[in-house]
Amino acid sequence: IPLSCNYIRIHCPEQAVFQYCVSYSPEIDNRSERFHLLQQHPGFRGPQKAFDSTMLFLPRRLPQPVTQLQSTRRSDGSPVTVTITFTRVVPPDDAIFQVYNILFRRVMKILDMQQVGRYFYNPKTPAHIPQHNLVLWPGYITSLQHYEGGLMLLCDVHHRLLRTDSCLDYMLNMHSKVGDRFRDEVSKELIGSVVLTTYNNKTYRVDDIDWNKRPTSTFTFHNGEQMTFVEYYKKSYEIEIRDLDQPMIVNRPKKTEQKRGGVIEVILLIPELCKLTGLNDAMRKDFRVMKDIAAHTRVNPMQRQEAMKKFVMSINSTPEALEQLTAWNLRLDTSTLMTEGRQFPPEKIIYGNTTGSAGDQADWGRDATREKVISAVNLNNWMVFFTQRDSGKANDFVQTMNKCAPAMGIQVNQPKMNQLRDDRTETYLRSIRENLHPQVQVVVVIFPTSRDDRYAAVKKLCCVESPVPSQVIISKTISNPTKLRSVVQKIALQINVKLGGELWALDIPSRSLMVCGIDVYHDKARGGRSVGGLVCSMNRSLTRWYSDVCFQSPGQELIDGLKMLLIKGIRKWHDVNNALPERIIVYRDGVGDGQLKVVAGYEVQQFEECFASFGESYKPKLAVLVVQKRINTRIFSAEPRLGNPGPGSVLDHTVTRKDWNDFFLVSQHVRQGTVTPTHYVVVYDTSNWKPDIMQKLSYKLTHLYYNWPGTVRVPAPCQYAHKLAYQVGQSIHGQPSQELCDRLFFL
């Protein structure tokens, strides 16, 4: 199928580049001042240099290995010595990443774009959303890489969401609302969030709040001088701090961000000079907020393509920007990349007594509630808990269950109805404990409102303390009589899965195959343990799953406890199938490009050690695929007109990386905006499968997530592992009972 991508070819010569380190005496913090100090000297002006404030790249070698220049500061005319030291000759391939990315950053600045974090935005054309105190800066993501099809610039539309009030405004507002709980509430909101400093447009993660420090507190400057934060901002940025009694925001740079020397530096920020970015949980749950934001950010393929053409045109029509590229003999194509991909046909969906098609849109919602499930678990002994004001809704829910579940092959007995006198968390817990007995199959709990603490308490009781499958329903969900039937049908299917039932299946040709999904949940707000979730298939049709979790120390991405989890999973597979799996495919979610080698080495080693524990002769064929959702690649169907490619579209060349075995897969149909493909990187493979088979299996697995009668963005085991790790980390905060681990209790 003909496809277009958000990549623009770049034509460049093969040439080496000379790299220099630039230092200042005395030390200069202000980035723009560093540029000014270097550009005072004619030989270091103009486009034939790439400079990022500490590293200088030139297409020529300077006469001396060390060059010293005398410059003067703009603010007070004081002298500064600029030292330029030769470090190395950069070969052409390496030069691309370092030099040309710096060049494009300079081009963006010439186009009046401002860098915030890694991307560039235009603050002069913001979209204001005043009803929510939000503002959106439009911008572009640009990234230059060597791909299989050559050197290309990835370019995409991006928006930066900022709050219009400062962190100090937020703190003062919160203080007037909550009084004594002020510090707890502010910490809960700010810790884990990202703030933007207004004086240099840098972003920082909030790791803590230091309530004892003030802007009048002192710190040691680079040159050993003691100064207050008030003095520092006045001297460096000409900024007067108004509120001298505010606490300080703490940022602890990651190891990779720390300066050489191994000293852990803590960065202190002033709330008055910080703006919150992004959305908090309350905003994400607010339909109106999300709808108003989407009105500005949801961009269809045509609009995306137009934005990219406009970007290239703005470079080519701005002489200063064009001069930057021509000085290094670079030339941009005027249109985006055209290529060809493949599309898998719609999958056949197998139900209890018939088969159907997933269709062109990969959606079988109507059939899922009309046909019988593959494996039904009848509801013989179950309980419903609700408050007095929801008694009518609870009875309507049970009656509708009795009417619609049999059509799906599920027989439903009358449940034990438990009416509570109030909606306090303790009332729910006490009633469940008093009524629960070993024969109860599932507990249905109807909450009058959504409250995280109450939900977490019930889930912890039902998953850890007294293991029983549980279904929580917010009464608003079952309050509309016209929608009640379709809502209850979905709940009936969900309960059936939690009891160990199977809803639908696909044709999976491979025998003796075990598929695993791995994901990690980091509880950034609480700074607590991370949770690693592992989900393994138990049967040939990949419709039954075993799940387990392990806990890890804060900030640790890779699963150290993976080995023990996988051993338990393989044992469970053996119990069900009376043999060990001959082929194991692992889908690993939540890994960035920088950690691919660690996964390929460290985690694969854990797998190998795990296999060895079953005997020296046990050596199953293994493939490990990293699944990446947060990517900037966009793929468009090119005919009959530009649009979203259909589900099952695959691209495995041209825009894939030279040194990786990877492919892009579009598994979903979207009705609005632009579909985002999923990037699969095969980091280890002894399966002897052709790429086409691996891609087809990955696509099939996106059909098997039982919470949705359609395809999802990632293979079902990844989605299950994500849901498991999230629920344990967010709500359960403990090891789920092994009694539940052979069922999808966490859906």
- Residues annotated as catalytic (active site), given as ranges: 519, 557, 589, 722
Coil vs helix vs strand at 129: strand
Distance CA 293, CA 607 (A): 44
The one-letter amino acid code at 221 reads F
Distance CA 528, CA 549 (A): 15
Distance CA 434, CA 463 (A): 16
Distance CA 356, CA 365 (A): 11
| φ, ψ of residue 144 in degrees (nearest 5) | -105, 125
Task: Report whether 247 contacts 211 (CB < 8 A).
Answer: yes
Expressed in angstroms, the distance from the first to the final Cα of the chain is 36
Beta bridge partners of 339: 3
The alpha carbon dihedral of 363, 368, 369, 370 has a sign of positive
Residue spans of alpha helices (H) in 600-673: 604-612
The alpha carbon dihedral of 10, 15, 20, 22 has a sign of negative
Write the CB contacts of 378 (distance below 8 Å, at least 6 apart in sequence): 410, 411, 412, 413
Distance CA 34, CA 53 (A): 6
Task: Report whether 664 contacts 652 (CB < 8 A).
Answer: yes
Length of the chain: 747
The crossing angle, in degrees rounded to 10, of helices 391-404 and 481-498 is 70
| φ, ψ of residue 309 in degrees (nearest 5) | -60, -40
Distance CA 719, CA 180 (A): 40
Locate 262 and state its tokens: 């191994």
CA angle 294, 296, 300 (to 5 degrees): 80
Q: Any idea which residue has 């770049």 for tokens?
A: 10
The one-letter amino acid code at 325 reads L
